[in-house]
């Protein structure tokens, strides 16, 4: 397949960030097609049969679900840096981090997005989400004490999956200018301390395409 890969994404979504980081790390050229927030997503449904982002088009292939897309990129761009591993023990560790991400960082981010859309945000839910974030950051911080990445030796899908969630607790001024609504995350989801985690997220986010 020689056609340029197309990515339909929602800029602040962790799942969309995840795929942009993977594409950036692997240096895979792509055309980015932003999905407007609040749109009916009818075009996305016609393309993929469902309304969620991200979605990729690659030749005749249309694929949704960020986990499936990561694995597709790994299997179909074999001459690019690896995100997974040929070693069973390392693959198990990557998948363990992936599973954990869905129960800790991703869950906390989802809670904040829910409150962003709520008519009256719940202070209790927001406090709980931030506490969950800091608990997750403690585990990340401890892991990074002995390695620059979650799996020692190199960056993997584990880093990309988790950093895409944690990045929303470290919103930059440039992101705020492009997406003012992210001030809600700055107010309610800011990560304090955890210097190794902050540095790690910064290194990962360098693979994202500028807004």
Residue 84, C-beta contacts closer than 8 angstroms, at least 6 positions apart: 71, 74, 91, 94, 156, 157
Which structural domain, as residue segments, surrounds residue 151? 88-205
30-34 and 5-9 beta bridge pairing: parallel
211 within domain boundaries: no
Asked if residue 17 and residue 42 are part of one domain, the reply reads: yes
Asked if residue 64 and residue 129 are part of one domain, the reply reads: no
Output the domain CATH number for residue 164: 1.20.1050.10
Asked if residue 181 and residue 107 are part of one domain, the reply reads: yes
Region 107-118 average pLDDT? 95
Asked if residue 147 and residue 93 are part of one domain, the reply reads: yes
Above 80 in pLDDT, residue 1?
A: no
Asked if residue 165 and residue 100 are part of one domain, the reply reads: yes
Domain finish residue from 32, 53, 76: 76
CA distance 188 to 139: 21
| Verdict on whether the full-model pTM lies above 0.85 | yes
Number of domain units in the chain: 2
pLDDT digits 0-9 by tens, 176-194: 998 999 999 999 999 999 9
Residue 184, C-beta contacts closer than 8 angstroms, at least 6 positions apart: 112, 115, 116
pLDDT digits 0-9 by tens, 27-67: 999 999 999 888 899 999 999 999 999 999 999 999 999 99
Asked if residue 18 and residue 102 are part of one domain, the reply reads: no
């Amino acid at each position: 397949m020689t056609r340029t890969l197309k990515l339909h994404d929602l800029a602040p979504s962790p799942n969309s960030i995840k795929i942009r980081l993977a594409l950036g790390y692997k240096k895979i050229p792509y055309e980015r097609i932003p999905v407007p927030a609040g749109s009916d997503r009818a075009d996305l449904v016609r393309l993929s049969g469902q309304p969620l982002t991200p979605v990729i088009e690659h030749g005749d292939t249309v694929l949704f679900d960020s986990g499936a897309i990561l694995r597709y990129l790994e299997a179909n761009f074999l001459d690019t840096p690896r995100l997974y591993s040929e070693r069973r023990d390392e693959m198990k560790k990557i998948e363990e981090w992936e599973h954990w991400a869905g129960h800790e960082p991703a869950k906390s981010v989802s809670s904040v997005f829910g409150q962003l859309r709520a008519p009256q945000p719940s202070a209790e839910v927001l406090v709980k989400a931030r506490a969950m974030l800091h608990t997750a950051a403690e585990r990340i911080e401890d892991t990074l004490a002995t390695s620059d990445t979650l799996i020692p030796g190199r960056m993997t899908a584990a880093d990309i999956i988790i950093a895409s969630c944690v990045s929303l607790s470290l919103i930059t001024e440039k992101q705020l200018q492009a997406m003012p609504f992210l001030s809600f995350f700055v107010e309610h989801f800011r990560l304090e301390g955890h210097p190794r985690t902050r540095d790690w997220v910064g290194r990962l986010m360098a693979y994202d395409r500028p807004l």
